[in-house]
A and B are shown apart, each in its own frame.
Chain A
Amino acid sequence: MEIVLALAIGILTGSGVWLLLRPRTFQVVIGLSLLSYAVNLFIFVMGWVRGGHAPFVEPGKVVDVASFADPLPQALVLTAIVISFAMTALLLVVLLAARGLTGTDHVDGREPDE
């Protein structure tokens, strides 16, 4: 399971960084989204415990805390998802404004040969 997650994070990060370095604004937005997915998975994995059970304690039972998944990173991931979602939306608006004002979707606002 760890290897699958590690591969997923690696592939997402690699694709994200590649797209982030591309010259078109839409590629940059998608790159940032992929990177944020990778980071969210990464935070999630930080609370991963082998066999991670849900952290519920039933009354009257003594449980082994070590077998639980850590719930805190899951809360952190929720916050991170909301923030990156909002920021991507904002960036999309700026992207559209830039497209409208400059007439090109190049990140510098002008085509390189001009």
Chain B
Amino acid sequence: MNFDDHLVVLPIVLPLAAGAAMLLLDERRHLLKAVMAVASVLVLIGIALALLRAADSQPVRVYALGGWPAPFGIVLVADRLAALMVLLTAVLGLAALAFSLARWQRAGPRFHSLLQLMLMGLNGAFLTGDLFNLFVFFELLLAASYALTLHGSGTARVRASLHYIAINLTASLLFLIGAALIYGVTGTLNMADLAVKIPGVSPDDVFLLEAGAAILGVAFLVKAGMWPLGFWLPTTYAAASAPAAAIFAILSKVGVYAVLRLWLLFFDGAHGGELLLYGGMATLAFGLIGVLASQALGRLAGFSLIVSSGTLLAVIGSGQPAATGAALFYLVVSTLGVSAFFLLIELVERAREPGADILAVTAAAFLGADEDDGPEEEVGVAIPATMALLGLSFACCGLLIAGLPPLPAFLAKVGMLGALLAPQPVPAASWALLALLSLSGLAAVIAMGRAGVRIFWATQRSVPRVRVIEMAPVALLLGLCFALTVAAGPAMRYLQDTAQALHAPRAYIEGVLGK
């Protein structure tokens, strides 16, 4: 057997096999499970890198499951975008896994299996070339995410999960209605075949097709957390355990990915661009207010994800290839940044007194009497290395989320704005988006600064016990962001190629259908 031929299916098969094998092992064999999980994720990263390299030289790689050619059988398609997302998934998987080794893996049953199945669902959703198969992988990753949200148990998690599951089940039903309508009109579920058949749909059926696509879009936008469909997101992500939340950072990007891929493939960006643009801007505005209003760090991170979803949707909705390329760069960087932030929150929270996340104003009003005791205790408090490391990481996360130099989120924002302001005359919506993007950066700086002051310059605090294995994933994710700043040239080149291919899907269609 030649492994290179089966490279495309390996990111799905490997985590499935690892996750299933770990189900058979006794719950107490933590070491064996940890070794298996780490090995699986490391191999997954290797596979993803090989896929990325292969996708760059041969843009569309098709794998026919069961040997039936498209459009009759189900195919997996690895193009540049899919390979990129698989790599991002594997990196986040490694970070979440490493973090969980310190304590979270023991907080509930079958954490490792669930994480592997989640990775399988994510990889499948990114690689599939079939609409119904996309639904199945969506359900797989959601089922794993329901269980991971509940990992560690507790009232807050169960309460948040109830909303999360109910909303996502409803969204899945919408997905089914949309897919069924599209199938009823066109008679195919293969994405490339759909792209060929949609322009030829008879005028009597066009409204059915467009209704189907719109319902499908709503299902994806619920996942992406677009306003007004994303109220569930901050609560759920804030309640989830740190490693689960770190991997959830890519969950909302699955919705963005599906919109990006199917919208450009089916309609060539012709319909609904305004909806994405204005909807994205509304999401951005909502997220901005949420970031400012958040008092708990978990909610702050959740609203940062909403800001990032809104930015992506709005910029993608503008429908320019150059802007899409920069948006993809932003997607990678913001996912890494928010994921690192979710991990960091848990470490930082250990240093804080309960109830310390009340706003400074509120604290002064309620605890004013204690202020006099402060100065004496302050004397001689040196910042130990742990706090310095945590503070540095916190500052990096803040810079990433706010999009300030020298971290690459700044480059991505400049790229997006440059592309948006390029056409003459500049559309009014682009100016509004420029204003919103700048404001969201400002809001993030204010919120992160406020939180940082309360945590790291607090007079009463204990130094948290942080293990190396917990700090390493944060350092890995932030280090990757620094690497992306240095290697911004090649990365942007790859992503601009990706965006060009998405906006001109002829190569994708011909690659899949073999014409």
Chain A contact residues, CB within 8 Å of chain B:
20, 25, 28, 32, 35-36, 39, 42-43, 46-47, 70, 72-73, 76, 79-80, 83-84, 86-87, 90-91, 94-95, 97-98, 101-102, 107-109
B169:A91 contact, CB within 8 angstroms? yes
A39 / chain B contacts, CB cutoff of 8 Å: 173, 176-177, 180
A102 / chain B contacts, CB cutoff of 8 Å: 155, 158-159
B166:A91 contact, CB within 8 angstroms? yes
A87:B162 contact, CB within 8 angstroms? no
A76 / chain B contacts, CB cutoff of 8 Å: 132, 179-180, 183
Instruction: Among B154, B163, B165, B173, point to the contact of A90 (Cβ < 8 A).
Output: B165
Q: Which residues 172-197 in B have Cβ within 8 Å of A in the complex?
A: 172-173, 176-177, 179-181, 183-184, 187, 189
Whole-angstrom CA separation of A79 from B165 in the bound complex:
19
- Verify if B136 is at the interface (C-beta below 8 Å from A): yes
B169:A109 contact, CB within 8 angstroms? no
B146 / chain A contacts, CB cutoff of 8 Å: 90, 94
Main secondary structure of the interface of A (DSSP, over half): helix
- Verify if B170 is at the interface (C-beta below 8 Å from A): yes
B166:A108 contact, CB within 8 angstroms? no
| Contacts A72-B183, A90-B146; A95 near B162 (Cβ below 8 A) | yes
Whole-angstrom CA separation of A19 from B179 in the bound complex:
24
B62 / chain A contacts, CB cutoff of 8 Å: none
What range describes how many residues of B lie at the interface?
20 to 34
Mark interface residues in B127-156 (1 if CB within 8 Å of A CB, else 0): 000001000100100010011001001110
B161 / chain A contacts, CB cutoff of 8 Å: 94
B136:A94 contact, CB within 8 angstroms? no
Whole-angstrom CA separation of A25 from B169 in the bound complex:
14
Whole-angstrom CA separation of A91 from B147 in the bound complex:
11
A36 / chain B contacts, CB cutoff of 8 Å: 169, 173
B153 / chain A contacts, CB cutoff of 8 Å: 97
In the complex, number of A-B residue pairs with CB atoms less than 8 Å apart: 86
| Contacts A32-B166, A39-B173, A83-B136; A73 near B155 (Cβ below 8 A) | no
| Contacts A43-B180, A76-B180, A109-B155; A87 near B136 (Cβ below 8 A) | no
A35 / chain B contacts, CB cutoff of 8 Å: 170, 173
Minimum Cβ distance to chain B for residue A78 (Å) = 11
B177 / chain A contacts, CB cutoff of 8 Å: 39, 42
Minimum Cβ distance to chain A for residue B410 (Å) = 40
Instruction: Among B132, B143, B162, B163, point to the contact of A79 (Cβ < 8 A).
Output: B132
Minimum Cβ distance to chain A for residue B72 (Å) = 10
B159:A91 contact, CB within 8 angstroms? no
Given contacts A70-B187, A73-B183, 4 further A-B contacts (CB under 8 A): A39-B177, A42-B177, A79-B132, A90-B146
Whole-angstrom CA separation of A6 from B10 in the bound complex:
43
Minimum Cβ distance to chain A for residue B184 (Å) = 4
Q: Report 18 cross-chain contacts, Cβ distance below 8 Å, ordered by A residue.
A: A20-B166, A32-B166, A32-B169, A39-B180, A46-B180, A46-B181, A73-B180, A76-B132, A86-B143, A87-B143, A87-B165, A91-B169, A94-B165, A97-B150, A97-B153, A98-B159, A101-B158, A108-B159
Minimum Cβ distance to chain A for residue B305 (Å) = 23
Minimum Cβ distance to chain A for residue B126 (Å) = 19
B183:A25 contact, CB within 8 angstroms? no
B166 / chain A contacts, CB cutoff of 8 Å: 20, 28, 32, 91, 107
A46:B165 contact, CB within 8 angstroms? no
Closest to B149 in A: A94
Q: Which 5 A-B pairs have the closest CB atoms?
A: A46-B184, A109-B159, A43-B180, A101-B155, A46-B180
A86 / chain B contacts, CB cutoff of 8 Å: 143
A109 / chain B contacts, CB cutoff of 8 Å: 155, 158-159, 162
B162:A107 contact, CB within 8 angstroms? yes
B162:A98 contact, CB within 8 angstroms? yes
Closest to A83 in B: B139
B136 / chain A contacts, CB cutoff of 8 Å: 79, 83
A73 / chain B contacts, CB cutoff of 8 Å: 180, 183
Whole-angstrom CA separation of A102 from B143 in the bound complex:
23
B187 / chain A contacts, CB cutoff of 8 Å: 70
Whole-angstrom CA separation of A58 from B467 in the bound complex:
69
User: Of residues B139, B147, B158, B172, which shows the largest number of chain A Cβ atoms within 10 Å of its Cβ?
Assistant: B158
A32 / chain B contacts, CB cutoff of 8 Å: 166, 169-170, 173
A94:B162 contact, CB within 8 angstroms? yes
Whole-angstrom CA separation of A102 from B165 in the bound complex:
17
A97:B165 contact, CB within 8 angstroms? no
User: Of residues B132, B147, B162, which shows the largest number of chain A Cβ atoms within 10 Å of its Cβ?
Assistant: B162
Whole-angstrom CA separation of A80 from B132 in the bound complex:
10
Instruction: Among A43, A91, A97, A108, point to the contact of B176 (Cβ < 8 A).
Output: A43
Q: Which residues 341-356 in B have Cβ within 8 Å of A in the complex?
A: none
Whole-angstrom CA separation of A25 from B161 in the bound complex:
12
Closest to A40 in B: B176
Instruction: Among A42, A47, A87, point to the contact of B169 (Cβ < 8 A).
Output: A87
